[in-house]
Amino acid sequence: MNIQLLNQNIADATSDISLEYMSDKELKKSKNKKILKLAGFKADQDSICFLHDKNILVCGVDSFTAEDIRSVSAVAIKALNKTNYKSANVLLRDKTLIPALVEGFVLGGYTYDVYKSKKNTPTLKNISLIYIKDDYKSAIKIFSDAVIIADATCFTRDIVNTTPEDLNPPSFAKLARKLAKENGLTCKILDEKALLKERCTSMLAVGRASRHESQLIHLTYKPKNPKKIINLVGKGLTYDSGGLSLKPGASMVTMKMDKAGACAVLGIIKAVSEMKLDVEINAFIGAVENMIGGDAYKPDDVLVSRSGKTIEVRNTDAEGRLVLADVLDYAQDKVKADYIFDFATLTGACMVALGQYTTGVMGHSSRLKHDLSKASSNAGELTSSLPFNKHLKKQISSGIADICNISNKPYGGAITAGLFLDAFIKEENKDKWLHFDIAGSAYTESPWDVNVYGGTGAGVRFMCEFLKNIK
């Protein structure tokens, strides 16, 4: 589907159908209110009504906020994709709504049919956003960035949705090289020999039973005079069986999504490089497969992390934090950054705390958490802060090592996982770091808002919003 921004009168638009967004107030004034009443249309949020004889699709909203416009646009595109209309247009009320419309259409209309033997290709090919105000040039920049971010989110979804047989640590590294070549990034890959030399033995232990070699991927986007230097760290478990602490069979389904943090990191650096933002981005990914076998790491093992801290393993299904411990330490040593953000499908406990729609945010800086909360709200993603405290920190103490990889109590699991990562953040970086637990928000089997079945691309939109406005 092609989406474009046009500066012309709506009367000159040649589209097959026009979209009209209507609240209850507009419905009462509409010239089509009688026929809409006959159709039972009440302008409730996310309601739609086709007036085929007039080539109009009426879309109901509670308000003309970005949130409501985004949501109903996703409903509208799904409906349009089931028709034989080839083109559609919508008259823009305000340029600030451009991102909401673009995301509603692009993300709401996303499909992943790579593994389908029969593809269902919609007839709809073009959507035009009509903007007739004088500040059209400034609207073009907003539109361009919105398309780039939406496309990067879809790119992230594609990687998340790729099966573990097709996307394993070596093929993940290959994908990173391809992105680097296409987007002018630098790319460094550490194979297992290089990882051993770097003392990443915690990460290596997790991938030891896999037939696929673990990979540490480092991509860099570096403009001439960057305002800030950002380190993005992603958990890239291309598949997680749970290791010897084997997951129940039903829980293994969808574990291809355990790489969603790494996928988000790729999507973010893709978007930033295409928007040509004046911030330096270093993306670090720990690509690993957690499997079972005679060489698998075990509960009761004590691992020596890259930082030198020792880790008692009491559950091999708490593996992502073991990978991130080494990757975070490596990233801090290699790049002195202004901010460090890690993304990980880290704990089911985060879903228990916040539900499946919301990303958990953890860290020490209240200011930084506030700034990210504002960015996520503007971007249409849901985030919520989970507070650290000294009492929960005691729950990951170990009797035989420096730290334990799971809590000794079944409460506050998302926070104790965040506190585990905090142990590997250097003191001078404590207020520069945030951890994003996207376990619930990164994947869905029940469509909601602009998210369809599968990967959602969680983290891409709100991080791009933050980076666009960084000072």
CA atoms within 13 A on the CB side of 243: 24
Q: Which amino acid is at 279?
A: V
Q: Which of 256, 321, 369, 432 is catalytic?
A: 321
CA distances from 423 to 346, 426, 433, 440 (A): 16, 8, 12, 24
Q: Let me know how long the chain is.
A: 471
Q: Which of 41, 65, 67, 155 is nearest to 450 (CA)?
A: 67
CB 321 within 8 A of CB 421: yes
- Burial class from Cβ neighbours inside 10 Å (0-12, 13-18, 19+) for residue 23 reads middle
Q: Which of 174, 188, 228, 247 is catalytic?
A: 247
172/285 Cα distance (integer angstroms):
9
CB 191 within 8 A of CB 213: yes
Q: Catalytic annotation on 199?
A: no
- For helices 460-468 and 260-275, give the axis angle rounded to 10 degrees: 40
349/417 Cα distance (integer angstroms):
9
395/393 Cα distance (integer angstroms):
5
DSSP state of 361: E
115/469 Cα distance (integer angstroms):
38
CB 306 within 8 A of CB 325: yes
Chain centroid to CA 249: how far? 26
User: Residue 233: phi, psi to the nearest 5?
Assistant: -120, 130
Q: Catalytic annotation on 321?
A: yes
- Burial class from Cβ neighbours inside 10 Å (0-12, 13-18, 19+) for residue 363 reads buried
CA atoms within 13 A on the CB side of 86: 2
Q: Which of 123, 334, 323 is nearest to 236 (CA)?
A: 323
Find all residues with CB under 8 Å of 452, minimum gap 6, and list them.
Answer: 107, 108, 110, 111
Tell me which residues are annotated as active site.
247, 321
